[in-house]
Amino acid sequence: MDSKTTDSIEASLNELRAKALNVFNMRIIKIYSAVEHPAFIPHSLVSEAVRAAEENVNQFVRQTVSGVSAISEAPEAFLLVRDAVAAHLLDLEIRIEQGRGVPLPPDMLKVINERFEAVSQRAYQNLENRRASFSGSRNKGGRLPEWNWEEAEAHVRGKFSDGIPMGRGAQAKIVNLMAEWFSETYDKEPGKTELNRHAAALVNGRGNVR
């Protein structure tokens, strides 16, 4: 990959990062604005901030892979994207830790660090699932990618701090969340039959069915 292509990719990544961080900053301001005293941010708002960060980085992954692969499908381009994702994750975590300008207590910082470790792992898996876009030549046909149901289910569980919902409408809600996650991760989603089968398993307390 020549230097001109590298420069073009880096410029694109910098622009996408700036936009994504701007969106996240506005989201964090809105989340933390509910706090009367900036030194006392409850765990519930930190959890909301971490969820917002995961949504942001998943969107960033999708946009960067799409944008950069349009410039180059070389494997080296994937490494540039991965570096950008790592930098973006660090920026998101720092922004959450900054709160409203008052340092958060050590116990809260520890919670953020632990939760962000899980967010980072899922983000890298999301990116890894898209590595084929940088194989140097696109596969125009063949089998669909293997669906990562474990990650999809983890994403759903992360949306419900009080546990998987039950009752009327719960399965449909989970189907929609899974479909959105697969669409962001793979740019396509499994069929409704599969989605319903896995959603039903979560509602019934089984999960990770085959």
Q: Mind listing the pLDDT tens digit for each residue in 141-194?
A: 444 456 788 888 888 888 887 788 887 888 899 999 999 888 877 778 888 888
Same domain, 46 and 125: yes
The pTM of this model reads 0.66
Structural domain count, the chain: 2
pLDDT value of residue 7: 92
Same domain, 64 and 160: no
Same domain, 170 and 102: no
Q: Is 72 part of any domain? A: yes
More confident residue, 137 or 107: 107
Q: Is 167 part of any domain? A: yes
As given in the structure block, the two tokens for residue 85 are: 């994702």
Domain that holds residue 158: 149-203
Q: Report DSSP state, residue 33.
A: T
Instruction: Spell 106-125 as b/e; 16+ CB within 10 A means b.
Output: eebbebbeebbeebbebbbe
Nearest-10 Cα torsion for 86, 133, 145, 124: 0
